[in-house]
Structure 1
Amino acid sequence: MELEFLRWLRERIPAATNIPLGVGDDAALLAQQTGQQTVVTTDMLMDGTDFLLNECGAAAAGRKALAVNLSDLAAMGAKPVAAFVSIAVSKKDGAEQALAMAKGIFEGLLPLAEELGCAIAGGDTNSWSGPLVISVTALGEVPVGKAWLRSGAEPGDAVLVTGQFGRSIEGRHLTFTPRVREALLLQQLSAEIHAAIDVSDGLSLDLSRICSASGCGALLELAHIPLTLATTEHCGEDLAAAWRHALTDGEDFELILAVPPREADRLLREQPLGVQLTQIGTFTAEPGLKQQLPSGEVLPLEPRGYEH
């Protein structure tokens, strides 16, 4: 299966000038860019945990596996360079079905890789008696000293988010486009971003990770959290349920940004990204998360979301 699959794959992967040697050799060669730092991230996705293969199909699973890694690069403000994709397909249904599965995975991820400028530079294939497993390692680059970390938020910074939140399980967790373009545009605009993270496990949980790394807290204004249409349709007039979904569901893959007040005002006024930027709160000197209700009442907020 592997030799036939590699022949098939080499015919479909476009050449990339920054990858002098890609799929087909013992290892890949990447051209290093002067003045850039390399950003590396990896994620392993499994059938039954991160997707349901019998419902979504191989292409959607493959696309998601690449997308979650590119979302991590976006959260660092990094430009995608290359990805290495390793798959373990089930051998229960025979070699022909395993080959079709491998092809389907790449048919799903290759268009996203091309769209966001990420070369597929290598990986590995294997078969076993268990469920489908896809492991992707993605590399990006960012100018020296310009990577966004979780640890730079300061009291008084605005909590800005891209997009909308909640009910991603209704399909958006498979079809989302990672905020790579938006992150790179913020870098090009020299926007002052003190800290950032992508929302993979839940808005409240991932925000708490910025707070923990930065030694601060945050006050969220619940009425300002932008909700997906799926959330509002599902919850109706039950705002408490809608906010709960937005705060805890996870896999929205939007960005949370810590931005100083003057810069936040500029970005909110100009809205330069093509996707809505919204201020949903403020970082505070007091540790921990708090939530402000529309009535003005302030209550503690327990970070919740997907725990690995």
Structure 2
Amino acid sequence: MPNEFEYIAWLRSQTPADARVRIGPGDDCAALAPPARELLVTTDMLMDGTDFILSEVDPRRVGRKAMAVNLSDIAAMAGIPIAAVVSVALPRPTPPSPLPEGKGEQAREITELEATSADSSFSPFPSGRGDGGVGSSDGPFSSGGVSLPKQLYLGLRDIADAFGVPIVGGDTNTWTNKLVISVTALGEATARGPVRRSGAKPGDWLFVTGPLGGSILGHHLDFTPRVREALLLHEAVELRAMLDISDGLAADLNHICEESKCGAVVVAEAIPISDAARELSRTSGKTPLQHALGDGEDFELVFAVSPTDGTKLLHQPPVPGLAKIGECIEAGLWIEENGERKSLAPTGWVHAL
């Protein structure tokens, strides 16, 4: 792979013009035209071994996911994504070369980056994997003849371009551990303002935008953030509370309840369950419903609306796939199954600190 500055030059050559971007990659900061309304800011970090396994997945899909999870956060507040910056810590294959005398710290950084390109025997991917596997001499960060940083960038651009989001800058470094990629996305609120988690009220109806569960079988890498759906819903009705389902329906619904100081009850038979959840249940020892409630990384939206607006959504849905799953109540988190109401534990993904 080329050194840092050649890589930056390549990135600049790949960055399309955008009227909102006054200064793009190449300077110390990007400069954007200020949005007319509130600026939304979100960031997510993905780590090899926690959020993906690099030896088992095409790095282009990793880049795509890194961007998509951030756009999903913008969708959760019914915002319009406008730009993103990306930082990547690449795994360093070999110890850095000795520092040339008298070159100072800047030379050390350049030498370390060049060292990552010197050992063509290193690859984070097993050879002969087919799509995304390594069978080339494109340097240590190679995958199918394209370097790992470039594959990541192409994946980032795949989903960013789909939503008109320019990548306006970032940082690239190397270290002696696994791949880490962090994206910060900027968005603009609509005229109705950002949708928070804290506006749900007892009596509100609860909806989701699509089927849940089993994301580990591939959906967690290939999902499409519900940006357009959020904007259409926000235009059609008053969204009182909303978030994207990243930790699992039970856990994320509990987040709404905590912030809104209310409770919720969901109806088991009304929860849309994905085909992947049903497939996974054949070998996991869990039911499809358990997968739908707790797997996480579905990145569908769960939201609360008034009964009047809920009725409108059922009769004139502005987006396909909407399902009413329950309602907000005074307190507690509950599930009704076969007519019986039981306590629902807010199980799902939780990072241990």
User: In which range does the TM-score fall when normalised by the shorter chain?
Assistant: over 0.9
Residue 297 of structure 1 is matched in structure 2 by 340
CA distance in 2, matches of 1:259, 1:115: 29
Q: Which whole-Å deviations, capped at 9, do the CAs of 1:187-228 have from their partners, x for residues lacking one? A: 333x21000010001100000000000000000100100011
For the 8 Å contact 1:148–1:195, the answer to whether it is kept is yes
SS in 1 for 2:140: helix
Match among 258, 264, 279 for residue 324 of structure 2: 279
Give 1:13 deviation, angstroms.
Answer: 1.4
Match among 248, 251, 267 for residue 221 of structure 1: 267
What does 1:244-263 correspond to in 2, within 5 Å?
244-263=290-309
Whether 2:199 is the aligned partner of 1:152: answer yes
Match among 218, 223, 234 for residue 176 of structure 1: 223
Q: Which whole-Å deviations, capped at 9, do the CAs of 1:145-200 have from their partners, x for residues lacking one? A: 610000000001111000100000000000000001111222333x2100001000
For the 8 Å contact 1:161–1:256, the answer to whether it is kept is yes
| Code of the aligned partner of 2:6 | E
SS in 1 for 2:32: coil
Whether 2:50 is the aligned partner of 1:4: answer no
CA distance in 2, matches of 1:149, 1:4: 42
Whether 2:136 is the aligned partner of 1:135: answer no
RMSD: 1.6
SS in 2 for 1:193: coil
Residue 19 of structure 1 is matched in structure 2 by 21
CA distance in 1, matches of 2:210, 2:295: 15
What does 1:116-131 correspond to in 2, within 5 Å?
116-131=163-178
| Code of the aligned partner of 1:146 | G
| Code of the aligned partner of 2:21 | I
For the 8 Å contact 2:86–2:167, the answer to whether it is kept is yes
For the 8 Å contact 2:21–2:30, the answer to whether it is kept is yes
| Code of the aligned partner of 2:346 | P
SS in 2 for 1:97: coil
- Structure 2 gap ranges (5+): 95-115, 118-138
Give 1:270 deviation, angstroms.
Answer: 1.3
Give 1:120 deviation, angstroms.
Answer: 0.5
CA distance in 1, matches of 2:225, 2:285: 27
SS in 2 for 1:134: strand
Residue 38 of structure 1 is matched in structure 2 by 39
CA distance in 1, matches of 2:260, 2:235: 25
Whether 2:168 is the aligned partner of 1:167: answer no
CA distance in 2, matches of 1:134, 1:280: 35
For the 8 Å contact 1:199–1:254, the answer to whether it is kept is yes
| Code of the aligned partner of 2:328 | F
Count residues in correspondence: 302
Residue 306 of structure 1 is matched in structure 2 by 349
CA distance in 1, matches of 2:34, 2:79: 14
What does 1:42-191 correspond to in 2, within 5 Å?
42-92=43-93, 94-95=116-117, 96-98=139-141, 100-143=147-190, 146-189=193-236, 191=237
Give 1:97 deviation, angstroms.
Answer: 2.3
For the 8 Å contact 1:98–1:127, the answer to whether it is kept is no
| Code of the aligned partner of 1:57 | D
Percent identity for Structure 1 against Structure 2: 47
TM-score by length of 1: 0.95
For the 8 Å contact 2:245–2:302, the answer to whether it is kept is yes
Give 1:144 deviation, angstroms.
Answer: 5.6
For the 8 Å contact 1:85–1:134, the answer to whether it is kept is yes
For the 8 Å contact 2:281–2:287, the answer to whether it is kept is yes
Give 1:54 deviation, angstroms.
Answer: 0.8
Bigger-Rg structure (1/2): 2
For the 8 Å contact 2:78–2:190, the answer to whether it is kept is no
For the 8 Å contact 1:91–1:98, the answer to whether it is kept is no
| Code of the aligned partner of 2:269 | A
CA distance in 2, matches of 1:22, 1:281: 46
Give 1:260 deviation, angstroms.
Answer: 0.6
| Code of the aligned partner of 1:226 | P
For the 8 Å contact 2:77–2:196, the answer to whether it is kept is yes
Give 1:234 deviation, angstroms.
Answer: 3.5
Residue 125 of structure 2 is matched in structure 1 by none
CA distance in 2, matches of 1:198, 1:143: 18
